[in-house]
């Protein structure tokens, strides 16, 4: 048989936090070792869209600006050469749900241990905890200080 080897697909969640930036660096290094490709996924949601707690309107949100910010964040973290090897996607929805969906068919999902929100004392953020419980593939959770080196 003349089959092409399948490329390892690594999905990484990115939210602008130091933890998610460490996860991006780790995912790129890992993908380099296994000849894989990296997909950086960032989620946005309208406050109150999933509940009655607030009107489902965010007059401050600009999706095009958010896409530019995602591209710029990847470029800042990895440099222009590294960024050119990462596919970026901005997806509307709850971050944990978006990442679990994006990980469908992936070989690995990489997230930071704690994002921009939450309690400082928490060992895991709510998103990393949810994806660890519900992802359809193995999950690696990166602490900012564990990604150095």
Average pLDDT over residues 7-28: 94
Per-residue pLDDT at 118:
47
**pTM score:** 0.81
132 bridge partner residues: none
Q: Which runs of E-coded beta strand occur in 14-75?
A: 37-44
Per-residue pLDDT at 38:
97
Q: Which residue has the higher pLDDT, 115 or 87?
A: 87
Q: Which runs of E-coded beta strand occur in the chain?
A: 9-13, 37-44, 86-92, 108-112, 139-142
Per-residue pLDDT at 29:
95
Per-residue pLDDT at 4:
62
- Residue 103 phi, psi dihedral angles, 5° rounding: -80, -5
- The Cα 143–Cα 124 span in angstroms is 9
Q: What is the pLDDT of residues 43-87, one digit of tens each?
A: 988 655 554 555 555 556 678 888 898 999 999 999 998 898 999
Average pLDDT over residues 25-51: 85
Per-residue pLDDT at 122:
46
Tell me: pLDDT of 146 over 90: no
Between helix 63-83 and helix 18-34 the angle, nearest 10°, is: 40
**Length of the chain in terms of residues written:** 149
Tell me: pLDDT of 9 over 60: yes
Q: What is the pLDDT of residues 116-145, one digit of tens each?
A: 554 444 445 688 999 999 999 999 999 876
Per-residue pLDDT at 65:
86
């Amino acid at each position: 048989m003349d089959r092409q080897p399948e490329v390892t697909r690594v999905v990484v969640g990115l939210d602008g936090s130091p933890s998610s930036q460490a996860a991006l660096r780790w995912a790129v290094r890992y993908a380099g070792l296994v000849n894989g490709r990296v997909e950086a996924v960032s989620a946005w949601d309208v406050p109150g869209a999933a509940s009655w707690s607030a009107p489902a309107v965010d007059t401050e949100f600009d999706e095009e600006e958010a896409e530019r910010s995602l591209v710029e964040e990847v470029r800042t973290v990895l440099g222009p050469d590294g960024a050119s090897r990462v596919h970026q996607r901005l997806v509307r929805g709850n971050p944990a749900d978006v990442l679990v969906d994006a990980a469908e068919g992936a070989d690995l999902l990489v997230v930071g241990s704690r994002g921009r929100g939450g309690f400082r004392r928490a060992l895991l953020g709510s998103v990393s905890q949810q994806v660890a419980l519900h992802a359809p593939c193995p999950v690696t959770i990166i602490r900012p200080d564990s990604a150095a080196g």
